[in-house]
Structure formats: structure tokens, C-alpha cells
Amino acid sequence: MRCRAARTLPHPFESCESPSMNMLKIVAVPMHREGRKFVAIFAAITIILGLVWQPLFWLGCGATVWCYYFFRDPVRVIPQQEGLILSPADGVVSLIQYVVPPSELDLGDAPVTRVSVFMNVFNCHVNRAPLTGTVRKIAYHKGQFLNASFDKASELNERNALMIETPEGVRIGVVQIAGLVARRIVCFVREGDAVEAGHRFGLIRFGSRLDVYLPEGVAPLVSVGQTAVAGETILADLATPDARRPGVPQ
């Protein structure tokens, strides 16, 4: 059967695939390599539980499927417009605040807008670079494991901070923050590495949060409570001035 193009398409990436093919893409999402050993451990425990008591086997199967789902690494459609700052994580925009950035980011002592994206245990946890540039600094700090949705998690929790600089000299900060359940922050890049907007740079296991420190004078284009998709949702545009609009937490 030949697919016939409609007069208008609601989305530039729409295709003539059948509903079953689209459903397969949703269910059979690729898994990130960081999750292979965890899925193997869950599967092994499931087999052992099945030998003990059959109902436990099915519970183990459910846990194994959840583990696979946690480490999923779906393909994302990355906006190509220059100057956009993308969400580095899937989750919910939990905080938008006007704060002084951490000293380890070398972003100065002037207050800037911080956008926090909270990831629960059901979100995809692969982190993506918010914009194209060079990783100028990486600073890891040990800390506590408070609930990552709390404001004070930015200062007290275990975290890994990256400062990325664009070819034009614009600098932003991205901080991976461990949460109540998370116990492992993984970073795939090193100082001096070049990163592209929307490309993978790290991962946090089992619930956490990412903070993005926007350049001074740049306004957020998202709101608290909004769902964010890593590599797709636009957090800010370098061309959008910060007018300190009412309703934006200061």
C-alpha cells in the first residue's frame, strides 16, 4: 500500500506509519547502557524469587520492566534555532528563582534566574546539554540526600556542577543534584569537551533534579508546574530579555 500525503500535515515530522508501529516505538524504547547491569541484577533476582514462590516471580518481572523503563533513552527532536536554552532533563519545572549562582560555576556574584527541573522515579533520567558550547568547568561536591524538590537541595545535596560556554562567550551553569532516592550521579563529559544542544552529557539514578542558571538578563520561557522534556522543551532564548515580569519568583 502506498502512503498518500495529505494536503496539510499537523506536524512536520508526521509520517504514514500505522498505529501499531507508533505503539511499538513507545513500548520498545532503547535503554541506555548505564542500565544494563541493573536490569540484569533485577532479572536474576526475579528468577531466584520465582524458584521460591511463583507470585514473587511476577512481582520481580514488574520490577525488572520498571528498571528497564527507568533507564530508557528515547530519541528526541532537538530544536535547531540558535540561541535556545533547552531543558537538560525530563520532569516538572519545580522552581524558578532569582539567586546568586554557586561559586564553583565561575558565573560571578550577580543574581541570575535559576530554573529547576525535578525528576521522579518514572521520568527518563538521561541528561542532555541545554546548549552548544564547551565545558569549561566541572565541580563535584559530596552532600546530603534530601528530597530534590526542596529549595535547599541546591546547596546541601550531593551535586555535580558544569559550566558551559558558547563560542560567543555566553556562560550558563548546569547542576546535577542527587535526591532522596538517587545515590549516583554520572557525567559523561570532561572539562574541555565540546557539547551540542540536546546531546547526552550525563545521568542520575533513581530520582533527582537539575538546576540551570541562565545568563544574566535572560528570561525563562517556562512556568512552575510545567512539564519539561529533555532536549526539546525551551527553557529560555538568549534573545529574550529579562523584564522581571510579575509572577516570576525573585
Grid cell for residue 16: 504514514
Q: Torsion angle, CA of 137/138/143/147, rounded to 10 degrees? A: 100
Question: Which residues have CB under 8 Å from 55's CB, separation 6+?
Answer: none
* Cα 50 from Cα 59, distance rounded (Å): 9
Helix axes 54-70, 36-52, angle to 10 degrees: 170
Q: Are 210 and 174 in contact (CB under 8 A)?
A: yes
Contacts of 89 (CB under 8 A, 6+ apart): 117, 119, 123, 125, 127, 128, 209, 210, 228, 230
DSSP bridge pairs for 153: none
The backbone torsions φ and ψ at residue 11, rounded to the nearest 5 degrees and listed phi first, read: -150, 135
Catalytically annotated residue among 94, 149, 154, 208: 208
CB neighbour burial string for 188-219, b if at least 16 within 10 angstroms, e if fewer:
ebeeeeebebbebbbbbbbbbbbbbbbbeebe
CA distance linking residue 134 with residue 4, whole number of Å: 44
Is residue 208 annotated as part of the catalytic site, yes or no?
Answer: yes
Active site residues per annotation:
208
